[in-house]
């Protein structure tokens, strides 16, 4: 009797493992084998649009894409705080006296868009 119970438990365990494997396989097929992406913060997504709309990539690169005439921004959020980034966009020479980056005043980038752009740049770590 003890041996039958052991065999039954072993078979039940194998069944549970197979069911789990089939579920994982079905989920992977539905997602195309990709890992689920984390939800994007809407402010960060808007900031990316501001970055693109203002042609920042003409001078700056992120993850190897973009210009090379200005600093690479791939990890800018790790290197600088949000306040510094906002000042750098509005008045670049205040942070970096020799900067050749043009100032982007409220007439070029609204305060609302600046907040979004800073959120995007701060997310780059």
pLDDT tens digit string along 5-43?
Answer: 665 555 555 555 545 555 555 555 665 555 555 678 999
Please check whether residues 10 and 27 belong to one and the same domain: yes
Q: Mean per-residue pLDDT for 54-60?
A: 98
Domains identified in the chain, total number? 2
Distance CA 103, CA 106 (A): 10
pTM, rounded to two decimals: 0.70
**Residue in the structure block whose two tokens are 């007439």:** 107
Please check whether residues 32 and 53 belong to one and the same domain: no
> Percent of the chain at pLDDT above 70?
70
Asked if pLDDT for residue 82 goes beyond 70, the answer is yes
Query: pLDDT band at 89, cuts 50/70/90?
Result: very high
Please check whether residues 24 and 56 belong to one and the same domain: no
Task: Report which of 51, 56, 70 is spatially closest to residue 123, judged by C-alpha positions.
Answer: 51
Q: What is the pLDDT of residue 40?
A: 82
């Amino acid at each position: 009797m003890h041996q039958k119970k052991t065999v039954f438990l072993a078979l039940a365990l194998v069944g549970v493992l197979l069911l789990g494997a089939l579920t994982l396989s079905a989920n992977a097929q539905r997602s195309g084998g990709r890992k689920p992406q984390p939800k994007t913060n809407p402010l960060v997504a808007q900031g990316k649009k501001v970055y693109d709309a203002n042609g920042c990539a003409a001078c700056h690169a992120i993850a190897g894409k973009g210009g090379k005439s200005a600093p690479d921004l791939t990890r800018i959020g790790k290197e600088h705080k949000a306040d510094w980034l906002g000042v750098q966009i509005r008045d670049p020479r205040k942070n970096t006296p020799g900067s050749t980056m043009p100032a982007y005043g409220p007439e070029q980038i609204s305060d609302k868009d600046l907040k979004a752009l800073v959120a995007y740049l701060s997310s780059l770590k």
